[in-house]
Structure 1
């Protein structure tokens, strides 16, 4: 059984049912029933037209559910005549599902879960494992999201920016459970890029590819984090880097700069540097200036402070950092790094320890604790040499 084939067909089958008049929640349930039936039947009797088979079975399951529900008999006018089995329509409504799953009435977490279920074809169990929550919790989240978008009609263009934000959230979850969400986000974004000619869609795809190219070098064999400057660049995926840079160049040539293109440009400058020392930090600062203009994001300004510290020296970076809210995530860690670069090891060690206490996850906390311990060892050694002299 080709599970990847089933997942690739799922959004198209769901879209056909919605186009025929089924509400989203009922259509999604029927498609899931059809997928279960496919897993049972196909190994012994594979169909000639896989999508057509799924559409036929899902539509029949939908009709059965509608006819069994006396409280909804008024809807039977929509489904009096059952379409006969045959080749599936060549119309691809998958794009509409992207916009449906990124509906503005949904919370970001619900939009992500619904996208993975309806467009990605993942099971509730897979999504729950990926997000490290109980399956029942994820099932409730998806059910609420389906109820929210049921009955929504697409009589106007969807918001591409919202769809991209959802896909970006999926990508940032990375890998957990038995689903590689970073790879899944790339697959879905490639699909969207094939359907939508938009420079920001290309920009997001380029950004994902450039970040994903460094994945193998991000952690040591013991699972500890490896900072960008210390990564073995020989482990970076040069094919993904070349593809990402090529996509980005074409997007930038259209002169419709957006947030994801600017982020991808920063990632490309890192990826293009043969060594950390050869990174073009001046250009990176310029791209962060563009990002700040586009987003006015404090996180962008925080990253810009790091880049300024590399381009113009740690004191310039600390001056840029001083203008930002100290409660920002990673603010203390950035301050620690810049103070270390400036030679103030005592302050840096204290700040690394404070940052570790506030870290959002265990790998980051362990990394920051190691930085604090490393500097404290250097301070102790310096103190011992001073006492012996």
Structure 2
């Protein structure tokens, strides 16, 4: 896995890359029940203009073999007298704003797209391990509720579940009963609560990590635009200067909106534990899930844009101001308004009462 880092002297900055099921911007079509073998071996990805394309192959030496979705019938020799079922499915997938597993759970169902394996939309074990530190803030109040002042070591959320599987059956049952009493539910409903609790805060941890990894790339890009603005030749180009200002403003507004949502989620979570109940947890769960598609879409769009930038300009000395300005006016500017539309379409933010 490649981790993002900001420019240090003339050292390169790396794009954000994840495995297929951990990625914001790519989806392996093997999990979709398609009829065409060549498609089942491919991926759908977001390109730098935020258009969804089919990636047939990707290799360091050969690059990325991408095909426009509109070109698939000719490439795959589909019959011309009717629309191929696979084309219908892929076109639906192309309209999605993000391919992260949490957005996909909502949008695949909404678009009537099935899966070859209903359990496929899960983060990898590696990604789950990466998110341990993020999950700690959400597991801590849960442990406090069950154990009070007891000293309990919890390294990952699975350890919380194990606490209810104590070899001492009586002790395990007491813990389950305590949790059930706190939530106002039956003891048999506690395992489902724990599963829902872990999954909803895993989603929040995932998106928070995505934002944290994105931040250094955004800093590098903003710094590069500053260099372009002060370039003697380029500062005469008013259209370029206006575009740079618009892009910087848009990026700042989008990141501020996402950050504000995380702060709201944190307040709502803390409030939930002040008077925990199954109903209050459900409200927090609904609140967070309502923004999965928006947060995933904005983070996907920004990550794809910044990845494209650092791949082309991995060092402060890469490319030069003119080449950078050309890329800003083409790939960076194109499709940026779509990210703003995703943000603008978000439901009104609510606070847990």
More helix by share: 1
From the CA coordinates, give the structure whose radius of gyration is larger. Answer: 1
Q: Which has the higher strand share?
A: 2
Higher relative contact order (CA 8 A, sep 6+): 2
TM-score (normalised: structure 2): 0.24
- TM-score of the pair, normalised by structure 1: 0.23
